[in-house]
Amino acid sequence: MLIVKKFGGTSVADKERIFNVARRCIEDYKKGNDVVVVLSAMGKFTDVLVSQAKDINPNPPKREMDMLYTIGEQQSVALMAMAMDSLGVPAVSLNAFQVKMHTTSAYGNARLTKMDTERIRNELDSRKIVLVTGFQGVDKSDNYTTLGRGGSDTTAVALAAALHADACEIYTDVEGVYTADPRYVKNAKKLDAITYDEMLDLASLGAGVLHNRSVEMAKRYGVQLVVRSSLSLAEGTVVKEAVDMEGMLISGVASDKNTARIAVIGLEDQPGVAFKLFDHLARHNINVDIILQSVGRDGTKDISFTVARDDLEEAVATIERHRNTSLKCDKVDVEENVAKVSIVGAGMMTNPGVAANMFAALYDAGINIKMISTSEIRVTVLIDAQYTEKAMNAVHDKFF
Amino acid sequence: MLIVKKFGGTSVADKERIFNVARRCIEDYKKGNDVVVVLSAMGKFTDVLVSQAKDINPNPPKREMDMLYTIGEQQSVALMAMAMDSLGVPAVSLNAFQVKMHTTSAYGNARLTKMDTERIRNELDSRKIVLVTGFQGVDKSDNYTTLGRGGSDTTAVALAAALHADACEIYTDVEGVYTADPRYVKNAKKLDAITYDEMLDLASLGAGVLHNRSVEMAKRYGVQLVVRSSLSLAEGTVVKEAVDMEGMLISGVASDKNTARIAVIGLEDQPGVAFKLFDHLARHNINVDIILQSVGRDGTKDISFTVARDDLEEAVATIERHRNTSLKCDKVDVEENVAKVSIVGAGMMTNPGVAANMFAALYDAGINIKMISTSEIRVTVLIDAQYTEKAMNAVHDKFF
């Protein structure tokens, strides 16, 4: 059996945890399995690198930032190989150049394009545990790239797909996917299984367990994922195509505080205005989430939308740069202290009352809704960030 | 003009020094020169990596150690590129994969085999300062390698040779090459120029300014080097093929405390014993320096030699492993607290009294000589380490 295992930064934060991960991998290896391990940078090392960079250049070139970031995972895999060697098991660490992990050139947010598994296969054939740097890639001009937040999950899924792995295990600091974040919602329950689509919505809505790009890729290539804890032996949650819902309406409640709302007030009411606005943002790799358009006064229109808080500054700057040309408007208004709260579940499609129940729960809790967005299996509301936990508990209690 | 500049770890140890280096490079760039900069890992970062590794595995696999080491220079070049960008000058950082710095597979002590300058040329043509990771290479199977101590100097010289650079400047924390280490010998004088051969002997004898492999390479490819300070504008010392000696007998006094003596006592007096001994050591990449062989009692022989102190443990272990087979002997004796003191100078070849003068100076200072080794332009003695400075001053005063 070929198993791909991915461990995040907290799982390799210090010597003790590195050995803990090493032992878990060796256990599978000694049963005769081929084991490929994807690692992130140790603990807070990425944060250290960011502050080093910002200290030198508050706005560092993205190519150089990726050149700096990529040392983090290389450190993790090298130290892990040393740990496994000290436990008597041969291991080899490989970075993005060595596994030929090709990506687009979008520094900081690159997409995997293709990879070459020959080196990994050869190392596995010689009975080594193969340790691969997560998060990083190489573009066609041999520049380092990174895959954006949660990119190591994507690396693991891509490897599992390319190697036709029998299992792809994503280790994290929780025991699986919960109906809500157990840190904030006391009645949260662990799910045994969840569909790709539900997981996608949970991931993109801040449940924080799996990065959405990794789930998209898992869905596309049919890679069955298991999300489980690196600290316990609990079974975890399986993420797959179809799950027997047994009448469960929703599978989870998620929140995301890494969000900010931008309102562009008084845009000219002409065709193409929305296109131009979001095109400018897309060119800067800024992902836009909930969008709301309303008609303003005097034949103008207002467009509100949310972005990740990290992107807020650049999004506003981008709009401001075009205010005198293609994006004439009266005002750009920003609200930072907002959060998204969402319910997700395939059962929703056939139960029209779900959204109403959610709104009722928020109304009963006295929480004002600023924006609403829905899809077939998801309802998201934007609220004041200070009420996030209160809202999650209220909504969770309503459904579970 | 194409200039290759190399800065060591202390020159990029913190933000202030990084900007100091950036400004020096930019000065040359703004005069219209093409500038290629080779950097080492920041300050003591390599030491941090070593202790991280040893904490996990006291005897880490060398391949993985190199995988870990190489992150150090990558950090330096990425941060330097950010510093230059913040000063308004475009720069690009390149690691060993990106410049295709090919080496042998001798991890920790690899030799450069070939390199491809296309990427660097392209970046220079687009008027970027090119920042290259020193010390590191890539073997033919895409594994990271490192060039051993002082390897960044070798990287710089190799780049200068491959790019047919007009100048190769090695920046260090002293103003050039001195007749002796000015920290220990108060009358030491800076040399304006020195030959490759003299520099070679000084480097291999612990003068510490340039790594011998870099000087060998400079000599082979006729790369004229300048050794100068990163902290002052002083002219430095030129290292080249021939220097007008003006009758100067010796050009320098050097010492090296990173040395240990091993004596293998009571070896069988058979042909091939010395070959076997040094072959075993060579297979572990242990460089042996002064060698002395004497006839022992009962038809045996004793072989004494010095190694770098870092290699002592492995050298002894290697000999012990073969004591019952190919290296039968009575005793392996080790002396750790020894130092080499040497005089170097092309003038020596034609002046037979030089060695005698050195021995006289040591005799007058009451210092006992343990071993002697000579070449055409060098005399080295092994003494008790505690007398190193006393010996250097005594010898220096005798000749200058």
Locate B275 and state its tokens.
């070959």
Across the interface, do B71 and A71 touch by the CB < 8 Å criterion?
A: yes
Distance from CA of B236 to the nearest CA of A (A): 29
* B53 contacts A64? CB cut-off 8 A: no
Residues of A in contact with B63 (CB under 8 A): 92
Nearest to A93 among B64, B78, B98 (CB): B64
Q: What is the DSSP string of B351-381?
A: -TTHHHHHHHHHHHTT----EEEEETTEEEE
In this complex, is the C-beta atom of B86 within 8 Å of any C-beta atom belonging to chain A?
yes
Q: How many whole angstroms separate alpha carbon A211 and alpha carbon A152?
A: 9
The closest CB to that of A142, out of B56, B68, B97, belongs to: B97
Smallest CA-to-CA distance from A239 within A260, A212, A206 is with: A212
A57/B143 CB distance under 8 A? no
In 3D space, the residue among B94, B86, B240 whose CA is nearest the CA of residue B177 turns out to be B240
The reported pLDDT for the residue numbered A352 is 66
Q: Do A75 and B71 touch (CB under 8 A)?
A: yes
DSSP conformation class of B146: E
B64, closest residue in chain A (CA to CA) = A78
Picking from A155, A202, A160, the residue whose alpha carbon sits closest to that of residue A181 is A202
A56–B98: do the CB atoms touch at under 8 Å? no
Contact B61 A82 (CB under 8 A): yes
Structure tokens belonging to residue B284: 């572990």
The tens place of each residue's pLDDT in chain B, 400 residues long, gives: 999 999 999 999 999 999 999 999 999 999 999 999 999 999 889 999 999 999 999 999 999 999 999 999 999 999 999 999 999 999 999 999 999 999 999 999 999 999 999 999 999 999 999 999 999 999 999 999 999 878 999 999 999 999 999 999 999 888 888 888 888 888 888 889 988 988 888 776 666 678 788 898 999 999 999 999 988 888 899 998 876 655 566 788 988 888 999 999 888 887 778 888 888 888 888 888 888 877 766 778 888 899 999 899 999 999 999 988 888 888 899 999 999 998 888 777 667 678 888 888 999 999 988 888 877 788 888 999 999 999 999 999 988 8
Q: Which residues contact A220 (CB under 8 A, 6 or more apart)?
A: none
More reliable by pLDDT, B369 or A125:
A125
Nearest chain B CA: its distance from A383 CA (Å): 38
Nearest Cβ partner for A55 among B15, B56, B67: B15
Please provide the average confidence, as pLDDT, over all residues in chain A: 90
* Alpha-carbon dihedral sign for residues B16, B21, B27, B29: negative
Q: CA-to-CA distance for A11 and A20, rounded, in angstroms? A: 8
**Tell me, what DSSP letter sits at residue A190?**
B
Q: Is A202 helix (H, G, I), strand (E, B) or coil?
A: helix
> Among partner residues A60, A63, A74, which is closest to B71 by beta-carbon distance?
A74
Of the candidates A123, A143, A139, the one whose C-alpha atom is nearest the C-alpha of residue A131 is: A123
Classify B268 as helix, strand or coil.
Answer: strand
Residue showing tokens 């005769």: A32
Residue A51: closest CA among chain B residues belongs to which residue? B79
pLDDT (mean) for A144-173: 93
Q: Which residue of A has its CA nearest to B141?
A: A98
Residues of B in contact with A20 (CB under 8 A): none
- What's the confidence (pLDDT) of residue B186? 84
Amino acid at B353: G
Position A398 confidence tier, pLDDT thresholds 50, 70, 90: confident
Q: Is the pTM of this model over 0.80?
A: no
Chain center to CA of B8:
12
Q: Is A93 part of the contact surface with chain B (CB cutoff 8 Å)? A: yes
Tell me which of A12, A14, A64, A86 to substitute to probe the interface with B (most B C-beta atoms closer than 10 Å).
Answer: A64
Gap from A199 CA to chain B (nearest CA, Å): 35
**A98 and B142: CB-CB below 8 Å?**
yes
CB–CB of A79 and B18 under 8 A?
no
CA nearest B54 in A: which residue?
A: A82
pLDDT for A54: 96
Interchain CB contact of A83 with B (< 8 Å):
yes
pLDDT score recorded for residue A250: 79
pLDDT, position B370: 86
Q: What is the mean pLDDT of residues A127-151?
A: 95
B98 and chain A in contact, CB less than 8 A: yes
Contacts of A19 in chain B (CB under 8 A): 56
Check residue B106 and give left, alpha or beta (phi > 0: left; psi -120 to 50: alpha): beta
- What pLDDT is stored for residue A208 in this prediction? 66
Which of 1-60 (B) contact A at CB < 8 A? 15, 18-19, 49, 52-53, 55-58, 60
Residue in the structure block whose two tokens are 């190399």:
B6
A86 to B57: CB separation less than 8 angstroms, yes or no: yes
How many helices (H) and strands (E) chain B has is answered by: 12, 18
| Adjacency order of strands within the sheet including B101-103 | B112-115, B101-103, B136-138, B144-146
Subunit contact A77:B67, Cβ cutoff 8 A? yes
> How many other C-beta atoms lie within 10 A of the C-beta of residue B29?
20
| Cβ-based neighbour number of residue B334 at 10 Å | 13
| Domains of chain B, CATH where assigned | 2-172 (3.40.1160.10)
Weakest-pLDDT range from A27-31, A137-141, B272-276? B272-276
**Phi, psi at residue A36, to the nearest 5°?**
-115, 130
Which of B63, B83, B97 is nearest residue A97 as measured by Cβ atoms?
B97
Question: What are the residue ranges of helices labelled H in A238-328?
Answer: 273-283, 312-321
- B79 in contact with A, Cβ within 8 Å: yes
If DSSP codes are grouped into helix, strand and coil, which group holds residue B144? Answer: strand
- State the DSSP string of A340-393: EEEEE-GGGGG-TTHHHHHHHHHHHTT----EEEEETTEEEEEEEGGGHHHHHH
**Cβ–Cβ gap A93/B67 under 8 Å:** yes
Cβ neighbours of residue A320 under 8 Å, at least 6 residues apart? A332
> Which residue is it, tokens 């920790």?
B108
Q: Give the CA distances from residue A154 to residues A53, A219, B131, in Å, rounded to whole numbers and listed in that order.
A: 25, 12, 31
Cβ contacts of A45 on chain B, cutoff 8 Å: none
What letter represents residue A224's amino acid? Q
Handedness of CA A93, A97, A102, A105 (dihedral sign): positive
Contact assessment for residue B189 and residue B400, using Cβ atoms and an 8 Å cutoff? yes
Residues of B in contact with A82 (CB under 8 A): 53, 56-57, 60-61, 64-65, 68
Beta bridge partners of B112: B103
| B25 against A281, higher pLDDT | B25
Instruction: Express each pLDDT in A315-363 by its tens digit.
Output: 999 999 998 888 888 889 999 999 999 888 877 766 767 888 888 899 9
Residues 6+ away with beta carbon under 8 Å from B128: B90, B91, B92
- Check whether A296 has a pLDDT greater than 80: no
Given this model, what pLDDT does residue A14 score? 95
* Residue A176 and residue A190 in contact, taking contact as beta carbons nearer than 8 Å: yes
Q: Do A68 and B75 touch (CB under 8 A)?
A: yes
Does B56 contact A79 at a Cβ distance shorter than 8 Å? yes
Phi, psi dihedrals of residue B34, rounded to the nearest 5°: -85, 130
A99-113, A366-380, B32-46, B311-325: the lowest-pLDDT one: A366-380
Contacts of B79 in chain A (CB under 8 A): 52-53, 56, 68
Task: Give the distance from residue B363's alpha carbon to the nearest chain A alpha carbon, in angstroms.
Answer: 50
Q: Residue B129: what pLDDT?
A: 98
Nearest to A57 among B63, B85, B142 (CB): B85
B-chain CB neighbours of A95 within 8 Å are 67
ipTM over 0.90? The verdict is no
